[in-house]
Amino acid sequence: MIKLLTIIGARPQIIKAAALSRVIKNKFSDKVREIIVHTGQHYDDNMSQIFFDELDIPHPNYNLNAGSGSHGKQTALMIEGIEEILLKEKPNCIILYGDTNSTLAGAVAASKIQVPIVHIEAGLRSFNKSMPEEINRIICDSVSTLLFSPTKAGFDNLVKEGFNKKTVPPYSFDNPKIYHCGDVMFDNTLFFSSLAEQKSTILKDNHLEIGNYLLVTIHRNNNTDEPNRLNALFRAINKISLENKIKIILPLHPRTAKLLSKNLSSELYSTVKTNDLIKIVSPVSFLEMIALEKNAFLVMTDSGGVQKEAFFFKKPCIILRSETEWIELVNSGSAIVADANEVEIIKAFEKFKKTKRFKFPVLFGDGNAAEFICEEILKNIH
């Protein structure tokens, strides 16, 4: 029996972790014991608890309640808490997801006391170090023992950075193993898709017609914190809704919700608030989100996860950032990087309106990434 210690903290990590926990429960419960540590980075019920209730994720064994704060303060609290638990639990390895401050804290705490790190979603790069996530990913990858990249581009990034693709066991900090293995988010999307269809009432509740609304999410720190960018995004959304008479639903991240009245001009703020076509709602559950993605005409987002889920459901996506780690989406022609640029966003929308057929090649595996990851952990972590 090996013991894995999983770190989760931010919304997307809770969702990603569901895939591995499910596989452990269904296929490897006699070989693997999972201890879950929630850092408490996200704590509102609709950013955390809702996913445990809905996705059948085991209740965390520990919650560090780190909460919000500056990067340094938040990460430091998490490092301290994770170190203590690692020393007590003595797991065979730590599982880290993605690129948040919770990921970084796990990487620092585990590497200092030589607990092997398994990084799920390794190798992704925006090549923009002003993004806090880019720093977190690079640091985490550099101290990991098993690195699972969801995409070929991610795997190639690691090779370009000097990771050897031909290492042989035993793997260690100094002899890491890199994999291209598919995406656990795709596993989850396939697994929960029909359940979402059965259970979600979100379209009905919000009077949305199938294929006749846009789904928008905005939470990236530069978009929320820089008034010029936030204003440009909302001007574009407002114009698109009015000129096309199309409804827009915007489940708003608490970060954005808190900054909307402060960073939007008062005129635009009241225009948006009084535009009946724009429906701003609180963050929704994963099943509701899947239902919204599956039935939208198009998705506009600065989220990493939502970009991909749009692709999984064969929806075009306007990326509200200056670059993306998921470059395959753009290369397939189904996603356009429009940044927080009003003109570019509207141009992308007009282009997608006229596009008759999109290509959605198989890019993210076969829905069994979590099982593969679990098998490799069992083979290589002792």
The residue from 21, 39, 101, 149 that contacts ligand UD1 (CB under 6 A) is 101
- Rounded to a whole number of angstroms, the minimum distance from the CB of residue 261 to ligand UDP is 20
180 is catalytic: no
Least distance in Å: CB of 252 to ligand UDP?
8
The yes or no reply on residue 314 touching ligand UD1 (CB under 6 A) is no
**Is residue 126 at the binding interface for ligand UDP, with CB under 6 A as the rule?**
no
Residue 116 engages ligand UDP in binding (rule: CB under 6 A)? no
Q: Is 217 in the site for ligand UDP (CB under 6 A)?
A: yes
Find which of ligand UD1, ligand UDP, none residue 43 binds, CB within 5 to 8 Å per kind. Answer: ligand UD1
154 touching ligand UDP, by CB under 6 A: no
265 binding ligand UD1? (CB under 6 A):
no
42, 119, 219, 253: the active-site residue: 219
Q: Is 19 a residue that touches ligand UDP (CB under 6 A)?
A: no
Our finding on whether 132 is near ligand UD1 (CB under 6 A) is yes
Among the residue ranges 41-49, 163-171, 189-197, 346-354, the one whose residues contact ligand UD1 (CB under 6 A): 41-49
Q: Which of 303, 324, 334, 368 binds ligand UDP (CB under 6 A)?
A: 303
List binders of ligand UD1 among 133-152 (CB under 6 A): 133
In whole angstroms, give the CA distance from residue 270 to residue 275.
Answer: 8
Choosing from 19, 20, 233, 289, the residue that interacts with ligand UDP (CB under 6 A) is 289
Binding part of the chain for ligand UD1, among 252-260, 309-317, 341-349, 355-363 by CB under 6 A, reads 252-260
Among 139-147, 203-211, 278-286, 312-320, the segment contacting ligand UDP (CB under 6 A)? 278-286
Contacts with ligand UDP, residue ranges (CB under 6 A): 11-12, 15, 217, 219, 251, 283-286, 289, 303-306, 309
> Which positions are catalytic?
219
